[in-house]
Amino acid sequence: MSFLCEVITPLFMSGSNVQTFELRPSEIKGMMRFWWRAVKALDDKEKLREEETDIFGGIKPTNLKSPVSIRIIQNLNDTSEQKAVKLGENIQGRINQRAGIKYLFYSTFSLKFAGERLVRKYLQPGTKFELILSCRDDDYEKFQKVLAAFWLTVNLGGLRTRSKRGAGDIRILQPKELKLREETLSFVKDDDNNVTKWIVDNFYVVRKIINGCKDFCSSYSNLSLSRFLISKESFNSWEDALDDLGKKYIDFRRKNSSKKPQIGVFGLPVNYRRTRITWKKVNDQNEDSDHDRRTSPLIFKVFRFGNKYRWMVLRMSGEFLPEGSVLNLSGRTQKPDFSLIDEFWNILKEHAVEDILSVPETLNKLAAEIKKELDARKVILFGSRARGDATKKSDIDIAVVTGKAVSNFEKIANVDLVNLNKVSNDLREKIIKEGIEL
């Protein structure tokens, strides 16, 4: 299956030498794995690994060769518009007057090694390349899952360095759509009308093919419960769109810069001049046992629809740190929570349209039962399950708007039910702020 792809935002990708650009099939396959896992949303890691290996291959202990093949057709020497690979040398010059983008892309031009700046080359927006996906064992069911994972990679994320902050976004020009399992999966949207519906409808097809999101998942970043924002405003360029989002992000980070180490929930590490925010296990007495990296639950992206651009922010679920771990700043520790994520999310909502991308089947069934038994006009998920930072043991907190007593609903283990009309003002405000109406 051949796809004609176009770069929307600068794409930074390399091999071992970070200063040499290389469009690597292995990196693209790695992103497809990530998104397949996110939609599959399984806390059973052994079962997750088995299914992933069957589709994408694995190393020890199976050493199973991947049946998925990715080929990229590009030609650095071909100057034709359709085939030329346009490389940029240093993104800083292009975005020097764009404070928001500079903040998002800082690591592509500002990091140093042995006193030398590591400047990454990039594939320029507007560059086109052909990507060919195939499945060696001719298993059509398996190949459909591969195609679904590719749709996720293109439409929910980006490729490689700073892809969670708006770099490496691409779009598909051809084919416009595919027929999978008697469902139509759309790869191309030519205008920016009804964007949220287009994303949700196609995600539903993808989730059905992958067979994901049955229940809550907490052990890694996933889409068991997820929502997203699409900018109300459409922009004339990717720079305008991403800079708008980047400025909102940098303003929020600066206003909350004193909230250390809690600001680390936006992604680790957070580097300062003489120290950094990392994470560690609570009972680990080894002072040198800090862990550097943890991915952000928020993913920034730029879409191009026709000649217009919009930014998107996707919010994922999953524990930010492993159980029993804390954020650490020079010995000052704190358990992570997503209250700052909520604050930023609510600021963005003033400039965007919000929609729910996915809800676990178990939660949909529970909401339906509550509506039926209590004649509830509203059912709202709140607490850690809504924020996305729940653990396996976390309760499911639900507020309802009903004229009946919530005690009439048969008690279900780990479900806490409250009537929104009878809670304290503080709790009502909290529910409205972080809640998701089901």
Name the β-bridge partners of 280: 326
What region does 189 belong to: left with phi over 0, alpha with psi -120 to 50, or beta? beta
Q: Is the pLDDT of residue 4 over 60?
A: yes
The string of pLDDT tens digits covering residues 173-206 is 999 999 987 889 999 999 989 999 999 999 999 9
The string of pLDDT tens digits covering residues 36-62 is 999 999 999 999 999 999 999 886 666
425-369-229 Cα angle (round to 5): 60
Average model confidence (pLDDT) across the chain: 91
Q: How confident is the model at residue 112 (pLDDT cuts 50, 70, 90)?
A: confident
The pLDDT, as a whole number, for residue 58 is 81
Amino acid sitting at position 261: P
| Cis check: omega of the bond before 175, within 30 degrees of 0 | yes
**Percent over 70 (pLDDT), the chain:** 95
The pLDDT, as a whole number, for residue 218 is 94
CATH 3.30.460.10 domain residues, the chain: 361-437
The pLDDT, as a whole number, for residue 18 is 85
Rounded Cα distance between 265 and 417, Å, is: 28
Six-digit token string for 40: 């599959």
Rounded Cα distance between 74 and 22, Å, is: 11
Q: How confident is the model at residue 77 (pLDDT cuts 50, 70, 90)?
A: very low
Rounded Cα distance between 398 and 431, Å, is: 9
Beta strands in 194-338 (DSSP E): 222-231, 270-271, 276-281, 298-305, 308-317, 325-329, 332-334
Pick the CATH number of 361-437 from 3.30.460.10, 3.50.90.10, 3.30.420.40, 2.40.30.10: 3.30.460.10
Predicted TM-score (pTM) of the model is 0.93
The pLDDT, as a whole number, for residue 82 is 47
- Burial of 45: CB neighbours in 10 Å, binned 0-12, 13-18, 19+: exposed
The pLDDT, as a whole number, for residue 290 is 66
169-139-45 Cα angle (round to 5): 65
The string of pLDDT tens digits covering residues 120-135 is 999 999 999 999 999 8
Q: Three-state DSSP class for 142?
A: helix
